Copies of this chain bind each other. A is one copy, B any other.
């Protein structure tokens, strides 16, 4: 029997989950829930239906795992504990500072309902976090580096869009090649985020807007841009559509460390991602962890979990015997 997946929220991430479910032979999409009028939401899977979110709880016995595809700012802190009362849930909550609080809320709800709540699944938090943990456990004496990009930062793009005279904007975060090389060479440089990354902004301005003023406002924006080397390009709406429609991203997690009785040997562990589509990759990670949530709950487990708590074998459709024979 397939794992029956529900999706709550049909934006980029929800669509990504729909695509990921299609690639996993042991899963099927059961339903998509939306806050919009369901008649206005058109999904790609012919065998699944769209419902209003208010219908979700009624369908709790028809869905094995509900994947919450809302935003971390206001949706997930409310939705994940709420729906963990009825479903195994997976979210991609990514407000790092608020994870402990979110964990506690989801844990309480999921323990009460006997369900699994798997939070902060994706690539950062997610795969990057896992690689930080593994490499720290292996090399206790060492230094961690995370670089992001090249990729589109939605937060920074939105911040530029709020500037007077800006019609549209896309911001790319770009890792500094020289800093990456220094880290890989084991030089253990001390680097600020601004020394590790530059920012490149593409802006569509209103006709007659003061471009010089816009550029200055971007480059001096506190926290977002003021500590970075930032380049601004003004382009046409057509160029924006043609050249900047995608949502690529990626990055590097590197740990350099020492071993030996006198710490005489150096090692570099590097994990990197180069992603054409940030939301589709995140969704693909979520789909694999939905399988884990389903299996853990079938074993009788309940409560909140993160990627740190999940044995890798739970993520794959392959049997333990196959894994040992072909993948170990």
Interface string of A131-145 (1 = CB under 8 A from B): 111101111110000
Given contacts A134-B127, A308-B311, contact A20 B259 (CB under 8 A): yes
> Quick check: B133 and A312 within 8 Å, CB to CB?
yes
- A275 at interface, CB cutoff 8 A: yes
Cα distance A14–B247 when bound, in Å?
48
- A48 at interface, CB cutoff 8 A: no
Q: Which of A131, A133, A266, A318 has the most C-beta atoms of chain B within 10 angstroms of its own C-beta?
A: A133
What is the chain B residue whose CB lies nearest that of A186?
Answer: B274
25 A–B pairs (Cβ distance < 8 Å), ordered by A: A19-B261, A22-B261, A44-B261, A100-B325, A120-B328, A129-B327, A132-B327, A133-B313, A133-B315, A136-B318, A137-B312, A138-B281, A138-B288, A138-B315, A184-B274, A259-B281, A259-B283, A259-B284, A265-B276, A266-B276, A267-B274, A267-B275, A306-B324, A308-B327, A310-B311
Chain B neighbourhood of A277, CB < 8 A? 259-260, 265, 267
Interface string of A204-231 (1 = CB under 8 A from B): 0000000000000000000000000000
Q: Which 3 A-B pairs have the closest CB atoms?
A: A265-B276, A137-B315, A265-B277
Binding site for B on A (CB under 8 A): 16, 18-20, 22-24, 44, 96, 99-100, 103, 120, 125, 127, 129-134, 136-141, 184, 259-261, 265-277, 280-281, 283-285, 288, 291, 306-313, 315-318, 320-321, 323-325, 327-328
> Quick check: B306 and A328 within 8 Å, CB to CB?
yes
**CB-contact partner of A285 in B18, B138, B184, B320, under 8 A:** B138
Chain B nearest Cβ from A271, distance in angstroms: 5
Cα distance A137–B286 when bound, in Å?
10
**CB-contact partner of A321 in B100, B284, B325, under 8 A:** B100
Cα distance A325–B133 when bound, in Å?
12
Chain B neighbourhood of A321, CB < 8 A? 100
Chain B nearest Cβ from A325, distance in angstroms: 6
Chain B nearest Cβ from A268, distance in angstroms: 4
Chain B neighbourhood of A140, CB < 8 A? 23-24, 317
Chain B neighbourhood of A20, CB < 8 A? 259
Cα distance A24–B138 when bound, in Å?
10
Q: Which of A20, A266, A274 has the most C-beta atoms of chain B within 10 angstroms of its own C-beta?
A: A274
What is the chain B residue whose CB lies nearest that of A304?
Answer: B324
Chain B nearest Cβ from A324, distance in angstroms: 5
Cα distance A44–B131 when bound, in Å?
31
Cα distance A24–B137 when bound, in Å?
9
What is the chain B residue whose CB lies nearest that of A272?
Answer: B270
**CB-contact partner of A136 in B96, B129, B309, B316, under 8 A:** B316
Q: Which of A265, A317, A323 has the most C-beta atoms of chain B within 10 angstroms of its own C-beta?
A: A265
Cα distance A273–B307 when bound, in Å?
22
> Quick check: A324 and B267 within 8 Å, CB to CB?
no
> Quick check: B103 and A324 within 8 Å, CB to CB?
yes
**CB-contact partner of A267 in B96, B270, B273, under 8 A:** B273
Chain B neighbourhood of A16, CB < 8 A? 259
Given contacts A96-B328, A281-B267, contact A133 B323 (CB under 8 A): yes
